[in-house]
């Protein structure tokens, strides 16, 4: 049988007729006039080569063929309606692995409290944090990476979406007994001391260096690392300095013996975002998870001293 030749609009009238066993009542249920329902019944009788409803006295009864159709028609209509109805979202029932691109700043600060919440609210959801790399934009665009941490200044791939997470600040970091740790820095000082650079994408680009170049300052960077933790470990045991997230630096300040200073810039804000592909825009779990990430991030950053 060629299904394209079937009139699926006859399914609701058929279902109503099989349940109501009355043309008038069935017509009222599906919003048809009685003549229109009578025509639908005539079509159904022709299609099934069966009377469907037979008058017995003042009532109608189902034929044996119609009685056998009743539960199957009801089930088929239920399946069809389910195709067009979004399933109810319940984080407790989710069983998923979510892949998130992040640096050690986010994993160190947010992983603990975020997983504590997920164990309570969505125990079947597992997180896989992964690095960025040169292919990160393609991974976000294709949906291979579900979510990625970024800044409001980060260029987004075509069709990507982003949502504000929380705000942090830049901090100038060095060991506490560094020769320049106990005075207020000027921008020119960035050219006098050696620095640890952190490159996330491995492209060597830095907004900080662009800001310094605008005022004619160039810094010496003998060490570049993809890890912010490594940058802190390096400045803790040398005269190197670095400029990174204030909340992250404060987390390790006591254990590494670090001085966390205000940089000599008018604007030190870091506005964090979470990024995802348009192909994942309707994913209810990711929408829910982004909300939880934002809540955790704001709570963590608000609790950081300084």
pLDDT band at residue 210 under the 50/70/90 scheme? confident
Task: Give CATH superfamily name and number for 96-166+276-303.
Answer: Periplasmic binding protein-like II (3.40.190.10)
**E strands in 79-230:** 96-101, 125-130, 147-151, 161-175, 194-198, 220-225
H or E element that contains 245? strand 242-245
Q: Give the residue-averaged pLDDT of 232-242.
A: 97
Rounded Cα distance, 125 and 115, in Å? 9
Per-residue model confidence as pLDDT tens digits over 74-98: 888 888 887 777 678 899 999 999 9
Question: What pLDDT does 159 receive?
Answer: 77
Question: What pLDDT does 168 receive?
Answer: 94
Identify the three-state secondary structure at position 153.
Answer: coil
Tell whether the model's pLDDT for residue 119 goes beyond 80: yes
Question: What pLDDT does 170 receive?
Answer: 94
Average pLDDT, the chain: 90
Rounded Cα distance, 285 and 92, in Å? 11
Tell whether the model's pLDDT for residue 31 goes beyond 80: yes
What is the full DSSP assignment across 199-218? -SSSS---HHHHHHHTTT--
> 3.40.50.10540, 1.10.10.10, 3.40.1010.20, 3.40.640.10: which CATH number matches 3-83?
1.10.10.10
Q: pTM of the entire structure?
A: 0.72
Percent of the chain having pLDDT more than 70? 95
CB 198 within 8 A of CB 207: no
Tell whether the model's pLDDT for residue 9 goes beyond 70: yes
Per-residue model confidence as pLDDT tens digits over 183-200: 999 999 999 999 999 988
Q: Could you state, in order of their start, the residue ranges of all structural domains in the chain?
A: 3-83, 96-166+276-303, 168-269
Closest Cα partner for 15 from 32, 4, 56? 32
Per-residue model confidence as pLDDT tens digits over 154-186: 888 777 899 999 999 999 999 999 999 999 999
116-138 residues labelled b (16+ CB within 10 A) or e (exposed): eebeeebeebebebeebeeebbe
Question: What pLDDT does 227 receive?
Answer: 93
Burial class (CB in 10 A: 0-12, 13-18, 19+), 145: buried
Identical fold for domains 3-83 and 168-269, yes or no, is no
- Rounded to the nearest angstrom, the gap between the alpha carbon of residue 11 and the centroid of all alpha carbons in its chain is 39
Other residues' Cβ atoms within 10 Å of the Cβ of residue 99 = 16
Rounded Cα distance, 165 and 274, in Å? 6
Task: Give CATH superfamily name and number for 168-269.
Answer: Periplasmic binding protein-like II (3.40.190.10)
- Rounded to the nearest angstrom, the gap between the alpha carbon of residue 193 and the centroid of all alpha carbons in its chain is 41
């Amino acid at each position: 049988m060629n299904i394209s030749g079937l009139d699926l609009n006859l399914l609701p009238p058929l279902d109503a007729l099989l349940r109501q066993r009355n043309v008038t009542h069935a017509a009222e249920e599906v919003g048809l006039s009685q003549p229109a329902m009578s025509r639908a019944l005539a079509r159904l009788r022709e299609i099934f080569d069966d009377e469907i409803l037979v008058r017995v006295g003042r009532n109608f009864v189902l034929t044996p063929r119609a009685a056998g159709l009743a539960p199957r028609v009801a089930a088929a209509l239920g399946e069809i309606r389910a195709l067009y109805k979004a399933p109810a979202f319940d984080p407790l029932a989710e069983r998923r692995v979510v892949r998130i691109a992040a640096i050690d700043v986010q994993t160190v600060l947010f992983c603990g409290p975020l997983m504590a919440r997920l164990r309570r609210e969505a125990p079947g959801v597992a997180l896989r944090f992964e690095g960025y790399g040169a292919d990160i934009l393609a991974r976000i665009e294709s949906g291979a990476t579900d979510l990625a941490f970024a800044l409001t200044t980060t260029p987004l791939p075509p069709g990507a979406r982003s949502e504000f997470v929380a705000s942090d600040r830049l901090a100038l970091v060095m060991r506490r007994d560094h020769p320049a740790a106990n005075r207020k820095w000027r921008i020119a000082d960035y050219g006098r001391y050696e620095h640890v650079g952190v490159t996330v994408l491995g492209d060597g680009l830095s907004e900080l260096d662009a800001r310094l170049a605008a005022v004619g300052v160039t810094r010496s960077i003998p060490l570049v690392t993809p890890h912010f933790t490594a940058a802190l470990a390096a400045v803790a045991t040398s005269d190197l300095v670095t400029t990174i997230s204030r909340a992250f630096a404060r987390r390790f300040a006591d254990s590494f013996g670090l001085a966390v200073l205000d940089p000599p810039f008018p604007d030190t804000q870091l506005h964090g975002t979470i990024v995802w592909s348009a192909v994942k825009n309707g994913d209810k779990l990711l929408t829910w998870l982004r909300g939880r990430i934002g809540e955790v991030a704001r709570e963590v950053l608000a609790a950081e001293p300084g």
